[in-house]
Copies of this chain bind each other. A is one copy, B any other.
Amino acid sequence: MLNKNIEVFIGCEAEYEEAGIVLYGAPYDSTTSYRPGARFGSKAMRSESFGLETYSPYQDKDLTDLKVFDSGDLELCFGDSSLALEDIERRAEAILEDGKLPVLLGGEHLVTLGAVRAVFKRHPDLHVIHFDAHADLREDYLGARLSHACVLRRCWELLGDKRIHQFGIRSGDREEFCWGERGHVDTRRFDFQGLAETIETLKGRPVYFTLDLDVLDPSVFPGTGTPEAGGVTFDQLRDAVELVCRGTKIAGCDIVELCPGYDPSGISTATACKVLREMLLALGEQRQVII
């Protein structure tokens, strides 16, 4: 007897019961203001992961040693952000309830809000570590408060001051930077300077880790909605991801803003897959103690 076609991220073939980590995709990009297409990010990562090895020579570990489950993409309603965020929040909650770590694949950055809401309910002392080219701290964007450009501002409303730690930021309007500097969030410009210290101060506290892939330089990651020259290299990002995933108590995380359609060479998707592999391997180590 034949099996139905199953498509999961490479090496993520555990059964749900045994899994410590659960992938879920949020193919949403309705608020993208410049170039849409991040909706295709999670599917592309799953589909193109077969060009990747499960083994990492960086960490000397293999995805097949972990127990990761891939639940596929949510079916979200385009054009209605409230509804979409509710669906994402509900999925994250379900995963958390089963004692597993939810790893969200975007989609645009707004999807993070759904996941953070779910994690925050269980961890009111939650901190957020945020890698990104853009500050995403606007109060609203052309009238919309639920927008990718405001997502960290919405998280701040939930978490309060000094809970959000941004790295790699190199774009925003003046007001965003000024607002942040008034003590609301901790913004590091351009690169990962200060990350080790931040991690030190967060030791033992629950952390949500949101990774907007456009923190990478567009040379190695052209496939994103709003490319910003001057980003970090792949090796810098890989190091930083390992640092965060091993050094803090991750209670939820995501990878967002892969827009495969803008990169016919496929290197953006391949890079996103590799970042996800390194993230999962680094998370795998401590999975038993985190949640």
- Measured CA separation A270–B3 after assembly (Å): 25
Interface size on A, residues (CB 8 A): 91
Contact B46 A5 (CB under 8 A): yes
- Measured CA separation A146–B238 after assembly (Å): 34
- Measured CA separation A226–B235 after assembly (Å): 18
Interface membership of chain A positions 208-236, coded 1 if the CB is closer than 8 angstroms to chain B and 0 otherwise: 00000000011110110011111000110
A22, CB-defined interface residue at 8 Å: yes
Interface centre among A29, A70, A226, A230 (most CB of B within 10 A): A230
Which one, A119-127, A166-174, A194-202, A245-253, is touching chain B?
Answer: A166-174
Instruction: State how many angstroms separate the Cβ of A160 from the closest Cβ of chain B.
Output: 25
Residues from chain B with Cβ under 8 Å of A77 in the complex: 141-144
A57, CB-defined interface residue at 8 Å: yes
- Residue among B2, B33, B37, B230 making CB contact with A78, cutoff 8 Å: B33
Interface centre among A55, A58, A267 (most CB of B within 10 A): A267
A18, CB-defined interface residue at 8 Å: no
Residues from chain B with Cβ under 8 Å of A265 in the complex: 218, 222-223, 227, 262-264
Identical chains in the assembly: 6
Contact B222 A70 (CB under 8 A): no
- Measured CA separation A219–B58 after assembly (Å): 20
Residues from chain B with Cβ under 8 Å of A117 in the complex: none
Residues from chain B with Cβ under 8 Å of A54 in the complex: 173
- Measured CA separation A75–B141 after assembly (Å): 11
- Measured CA separation A222–B264 after assembly (Å): 10
- Residue among B5, B33, B217, B227 making CB contact with A266, cutoff 8 Å: B227
A242, CB-defined interface residue at 8 Å: no
Provided the pairs A2-B22, A37-B37, A266-B35 are in contact, do residues A78 and B144 lie with their beta carbons within 8 angstroms? Answer: yes
- Residue among B69, B76, B217, B275 making CB contact with A220, cutoff 8 Å: B217
Residues from chain B with Cβ under 8 Å of A16 in the complex: 1-4
9 CB-based A-B contacts, threshold 8 Å? A1-B17, A4-B70, A4-B72, A5-B70, A5-B72, A36-B37, A53-B173, A57-B190, A226-B270
A interface residue numbers (CB < 8 A to B): 1-8, 16-17, 22, 24, 29-37, 39, 43, 46-47, 50-55, 57-58, 62, 69-73, 75-81, 83, 94-95, 98, 110, 141-144, 146-147, 169-174, 177, 189-190, 217-220, 222-223, 226-230, 234-235, 238, 261-267, 270-271, 274-275
